[in-house]
Amino acid sequence: MKYIRIIILAITLSFCVNFTVGQAVKPYLQKVLANNPWIQQAKQQMEAERSSQLTGITPPGPELEAGYFPGKDNVVKRTFGVSQRFEMPMVYSRKLKNARSKQEISKAVYQQRMMDILLEASKKAIQYRYTHNVLEVLESRKQHAEELLAAFEKSLEQGDANLLEVNKIRVAQLNVTERLAYHKQKLASLKAEIRQFVNGESVDFEKIKYPEPFVLSRNEYVNLGLQSSPNILQIKQKLKTDSIAVKLSKAQNWPSFKVGYEYEAADPEQFSGIKAGISIPLWQNSKKTKTARARVMASSARNDAIISSLKTQLVSTYNEYRQVTETHQQYSKTMNELDSFELLKKSLDFGHISLIEYLLELKFFYEANDRLLELAYEQALLNVELRRFEYMNLQ
């Protein structure tokens, strides 16, 4: 029967959705990196913080003093002085190390923000590709449902079909049409959201594909994550900063000095010379070193907890990706080897099943193919999640 061939062709086409993988999404992510306003804001914030962290390292500016003191009998006393305060050289050295360490923390915070935005943009691109793939399948199903309906309406006119069969096909066609309209609207919304990620710049949507298979072993991926994660870099740098703060606090317990020149005149006498002073911190720094050491201990404990949590997360994501990948491969292999269409057709031709039963079986195959699409989508989402550390190389 002609309509049987049409249905089988529709199913076959629906299984041939293109899941081509490649690195075509990389130009899109580079465009996000260059144009996304939130990434630009985070970058400017980092630059501002890095600049401010270098303030307060050098000694304070020189102090100038002048005085004019009229006295009795027209005697006037005049004074002038200039002085400079400074600390031990090791204080400035450790202040500089501390500032540079804080700069690295600001950089890691920016990288984490950048990675989060690029990951979100990647997932939105994957969602677009999935919706596009679904639309291709639904377009094919709609076309063949219309052809099938036309064939049965003709058979109804000739008395070879009944109204119940025709109405069943009409309901199936309406379902496909409704899903098609929904996904078209969703695709348009996804395009608008993707353009927001690039701040309105043009995007070649046809080149957005699912990523290539992830090939690193679990141990390789976990090691990469622990080495590249901005969060890990941030907490390690925080521990380094806290350790430097302990040394800085110890250095600040040393005396600071003041040297200068002073001039004093009260006619007819004049005095001038060098002056020097020393400031001994007896009380003001008494708790600073103890507090700094406590921060180091707290940072160390926090580091261990965050590293352990991240490692668990990395392993979980990797295992989930492998599981979904295996399920998708098995599902795809089963669907490709499935030859039940011919058996179904023969059963209908010989009158072993009715058209209604045939349509129910057809619905099963459609649902199976939809699940195959969903598995490919889940696999792609997990894939870009695993690849988030590669975003550091886009800079």
Task: Indicate the domain borders of the chain.
Answer: 2-59+90-254+289-394
The DSSP call for residue 59 is P
Short-list 311, 306, 314, 312, CA closest to 238: 306
Short-list 147, 115, 227, 132, CA closest to 180: 132
Please give the Cα distance from 253 to 247 (Å, whole number).
Answer: 10
Please give the Cα distance from 252 to 155 (Å, whole number).
Answer: 97
Supply the pLDDT for residue 344: 65
Give me the sheet containing 63-70, strands edge to edge.
63-70, 76-86, 256-266, 269-279
Supply the pLDDT for residue 12: 42
Please give the Cα distance from 330 to 148 (Å, whole number).
Answer: 31
Supply the pLDDT for residue 24: 53
Short-list 183, 163, 172, 182, CA closest to 10: 172
The DSSP call for residue 17 is -
Q: Which fold has domain 2-59+90-254+289-394?
A: Outer membrane efflux proteins (OEP) (1.20.1600)
Question: What is this structure's pTM?
Answer: 0.80
Supply the pLDDT for residue 338: 65
pLDDT in tens, 9-52: 444 434 333 333 336 578 889 899 999 999 999 999 999 988 88
pLDDT in tens, 112-129: 999 999 999 999 999 999
Beta-strand relationship, 76-86 and 269-279: unpaired
- Cβ contacts of residue 318 below 8 Å, gap of 6+? 218, 221, 222, 386
Please give the Cα distance from 104 to 240 (Å, whole number).
Answer: 10
Please give the Cα distance from 220 to 336 (Å, whole number).
Answer: 33
Short-list 111, 118, 131, CA closest to 25: 118
Please give the Cα distance from 240 to 306 (Å, whole number).
Answer: 16
Mean pLDDT by 10 residues, the chain (395 residues): 42 38 68 92 91 83 85 82 84 84 90 93 94 92 79 72 76 88 94 93 88 92 91 86 78 81 84 83 65 72 84 94 94 74 64 72 82 94 92 75
- Cβ contacts of residue 381 below 8 Å, gap of 6+? 123, 126
Supply the pLDDT for residue 350: 72
Residues 163 and 152 sit within 8 Å (Cβ to Cβ)? no
